[in-house]
Structure 1
Amino acid sequence: MNPPDPSKLLIVDDLPENLRALDALLRNDERIVFQARSGEEALALMLEHEFALAILDVQMPGMDGFELAELMRGASRTRHIPIVFVSAAGKELNYAFKGYETGAVDFLYKPLDPDAVRSKVNVFVALDQQRRETLRQMEAVERARHQQEVLLRELNETQQELQRSLRMRDEFMSLVAHELRTPLNTLYLETQMRALQLKRGILPTADPAQIGAMIKRDERQITAMIRLIDDMLDVSRMKSGKLSIRPGRVELMSLLERVVSDLALQAQAGGCLLTLVPHPPVTGWWDEFRIEQVIVNLLTNALRYGGGQPVEVSVHIDTGKVRIDVRDHGRGIAPEDMERIFEPYERGARNGDPKGLGLGLYISRQLAASHSGSLSATSTPGAGSTFSLELPVVDAGIEPAPAEACASR
C-alpha cells in the first residue's frame, strides 16, 4: 500500500517572524505548510490547494482573520476547511466568541503553547488523512464496481456469442448433412438400379446414349459434393490465413465468355436469358482460378434467386481498376440483409427457398480482398440486385510481386 500524500496546512499572518515560527513548529514529513501574509494571498492559495487546516491571525491590516473566515465559509471549495484563530489580544475583547460564530474549530491566544499547537494540528492532520483514505477507498470501490460491470457485460456478450456459435454449428451440421444427402441419395439409387439391372441381365450396355446420361447425372452429383467440400476447405484456409493466391496474366473477357458459356445450359433450364455485354479485352494480374470462382458464385446466385428473369454480366473500366457487374431482375435484397449475406453460413433465402451452405458470397468477398479488390452489392426490393466485383488493373508490361502462397489449392 502506498504511503498517504502529505497533508497541507495554511498559516496566515502579516508578520514574517510569526509565519517562520509557526512553520518551524508544524512542518514535518507528513505535512506541507503554506504561508500567506494577507487574506488575499490566502484565498489565492485556497484556489490551488486543498488544506487540512487553516490557522488565521485575527488582527491583520486590510482583510482581518474574521473577514477571511466569512469569505471561506461562503465558498463551496473552502467552506469545509477547519479554521483555528490565533490572537495576541486579551481575552477580555471576547474575540473567541466571534471566532466560533464564524465557524472556527478553536481559538488560541499568544504566546502559543508549542505542545498544545502540535497536539491540535495532529488531530486535524489525522482527520484529513482518514478522510482522504476514505475517498481513495470509495474511488477504489467505484473502480472495482465499474470493472465488474464491464466484465459482466463482456461475459454476457461472450455467452451470447457462444450461444450464437453453437446455433450456427448445429445449423451448419444440419445444412451439410442435407446438402450432401441429396446427391448421395441420387448416387445410391442409381447404384441400386444398376445393380438390379445387372442382376436381371438388362444393363443397357448397348445404348451409349443412356449410359452417357447416367454418367452425366453421376458427374453432376459428384461435382456438387466436391464444391461443398471445397467451400468448407476455403473457409477454413481463410480463417487460418493459409488461402493460396497464385496470380498470373489473365484476359478477363475470355474468362467471362467461358464462364457464361458453361452456365448457359443451367440458365436455359431455368428459363433465364444469360448475356455478357461485349467489351474490348481487359488484361490484369490475378489468380484466374479464384476470379473464375467468384464469377461462378455470383452468376449461380443470380440464376438461383433471379426468378427466371434475365441475368446480365457487364464490364466497366475506370482509372487503374475494372468492375464486373452481375445484374439480375429478381425480387432483390432487403436493406437490413445487405451485409448479412456476406457473412459465413448466411443465406439470402429462407422458408423453403433455394438452399445452400451460405458460403459463396463470404468466400467471394474474401477472394476479392485477397486481390486488393472489393465485392459489394446494391439492390432495390422487387427490382433485382447488382453484385459488383472491383479489381485493380496492372499494366500489362509490369509484373507485380507474386502473392504469398501459404497452402496448395
Structure 2
Amino acid sequence: MSVVRTEADYAPGAHNTPAKILLVDDRPENLLATEALLRPLGARIITAESGEAALGHVLEHTFAIVLLDVQMPGMDGFETAQLMQTRPSMQGVPIVFVTAISKEDHFASRAAGLGAADYIFKPINPDILKSKVKVYLDLYRQREQILSLNGTLRQSNEELERFAYVCSHDMQEPVRMMNTYAGFLAEDAAGKLEEGTLQYVRYIRENAVRMQKMIRDILTFSRVGREELHLETVDSQKVLDEVLHEVRDIIEAKGAIVTSGALPMIEASPTLLRVVLQNLVGNALKFHDGSRTPEINVSARRAGSRGEPMWRFDVKDNGIGIDPAFSERIFTMFQRLHRSEDYPGTGIGLATCRKFIRLCGGDIVFSSTPGVGTTFTFTLPDKGRPQ
C-alpha cells in the first residue's frame, strides 16, 4: 500500500510546484512518524510500503530526495535503488538508506556503490534527519531556480535577437533612402548653398552610411545561432587572401605590411572564418596612430594535444594596443574603447566573432601591450585530426 499526501504543501509560502520526497518503508508507523517529522519542511511527501510501490511512484513523479528502508520483504532497498536509477528522472537524485539491522561495513559499502547520498541507522535522531533532508531540499530548489532562470534568460535572449533581426531588417530601406536622397540634395545644391550648409548634408550622408553598417552588423550578429551552421573543408589561406583583396586600398593607403604563414585546410564554416578574419584584420589596420608602418601577421598551428585537438589562429599587429582591463568589454556589443571620431566603428564586430567561434566549439582571447600591439588568438576544433 502507498499513500500520497496532497495537503497545501504543508507550509505557508511553498512553491507552486513543491519539491517531492519519497519515503519507502514496509512499516506504516515508521512512515507516519517520518512524514510528521519532515512535514514542516514544505515538501510534498509521497510514501510507499514496498519497493514495487516506490518504483511505480518513480514513473509518475520527479523527486528531490528518497529515504529508503534497506530491510523490506520481497524487493529490498538495494534492489529498489538499483532499479530506480535506471530511470532518467532519478539521475542525480540523492538516495538516503535507512536501516535498523545492516550495520556491517559491507552493507554501507554496497550502498556507496549504488551512489547513496547517506546511510542512516535506526533509531533515527530526528534533528539530524530533518537537518540532512533540509539540505538536500535546499539544493534541489536552488537547482530548479537556476534551471528556471536559465530558461527565462535563454528565451529573453532569443526574443531580443529576433527583435534585433526584425528591426534591423526593416530599417535597411529607410536608411538607404536617407543616404540616397541626401546624395541627390548634395548634387542639386552644389554651388547654391553655403559651405556650412553643405557640410550638414555631408554629415547626414556620413551618418547614414555609418547606420547602414551598424544595421548590417546587427543582422550578422542576430543570425549567428539562428541558422544552421554548415561545416565544409575550407582553405583558410584562400579566405585570408580574399579578405586582404577586399581591403587592398586601405593596405596601400597606410603602407601596411601583411604577412602570413601557410594557413591550413580546416573543417569550418567559410562564412564564419571570413567574418572573423575581416574583423580582426580590419581592426589591426584601423587601430593605428600613424607613428609607424602597420604590420600584421596571421598564422595558424595545431594545439590542444592533451584535450580536444584544435587549430589555433593568431592575428598579430603593432597598433595602439588594448588595456587588459578591458578584456571582456571589447567582446560586448556596442562597447567601444575610443570615440567614433577617432576610430569609427559599430562596436559589434568582436562580439560577433566570439559568438561565431563559440558556436563552433572554439574561443577567442587577446594579449596586448598598450603602445606596442595586440595579438588576437582564436581556436577552432581540428575535425580532421584523430582523437
Per the normalisation by structure 1, the TM-score is 0.44
> Larger C-alpha radius of gyration, 1 or 2?
1
